[in-house]
Amino acid sequence: MALKNPPATAVAADAATISRSLARAFDDDPMMRWFFPVDETREESLTAYFGTIFSRQYVHNAVCERTESAAAFWVSPEGRDKAVPDEDTIRELTAILGDRADLFGAAVQAAAAHGPQEPHWYLAVIGADPAAQGTGQGAALLRSGLAKADAAGLPAYLESSKESNLPFYEYFGFTTQQQLTLPGGGPTLWSMRRAPRPASA
């Protein structure tokens, strides 16, 4: 489905819109439900979480794109060392996560330990408001990022804790590399890689 408005570069002023869309997108994500287990406060907590990592981290050191109701954050090889939370960001996230902060930290470390060492484009976050499901916004964002990876001749990599999303990524050429059970009784995380394709493919 062709979008009326293609993906656009996200800027700091988009934080509120992006954080709300991503909070709704990840409401049923197993990992986010593990980090934020209280149904009544999950959307508020997720909105704060995504607002923080976008505003303090990714908008400055990653390739962030948005559509009307979706967003994606990609980290290039050049941005890898910069797109990590600083001490102030960690303090904010700790306050948002509360007693789940230690589990979050352990999960991040476990995922990083199993990440690829080769240069790659990392899809840190992608999500669309469920109300926009079927409109092609998530697919458009994925295609846009993959085009950048292909132009650089590099593979793309992502992690997903939602098994039902795997066929969507497989459709775009990703293959599962491994399954990881997150520490502390956490959910399963699937790591996926997509080899670069010629720009004309």
Tens digit of each residue's pLDDT (9 = 90 or more) over 49-84: 999 999 999 999 999 999 999 999 999 999 888 777
Q: Does residue 111 surpass a pLDDT of 80?
A: yes
DSSP letter assigned to residue 179: E
Maximum separation of any 2 CA atoms in the chain, in Å: 49
Domains for the chain: give ranges and CATH numbers. 8-194 (3.40.630.30)
Q: What is the mean pLDDT of residues 106-130?
A: 93
Taking the C-alpha atoms of residue 180 and residue 128, their distance in angstroms, rounded to an integer, is 25
In 54-123, alpha helices (H)? 59-61, 87-97, 101-113
> Which secondary structure element, helix H or strand E, spans residue 13, and what is its range?
none
Q: What is the rounded average pLDDT for all residues in the chain?
A: 93
Contact 86, 42 (CB under 8 A): no
Torsion sign (Cα): 90, 16, 137, 63: negative
Q: Are 77 and 121 in contact (CB under 8 A)?
A: yes
Residue with tokens 């010629």, as numbered in its chain? 198
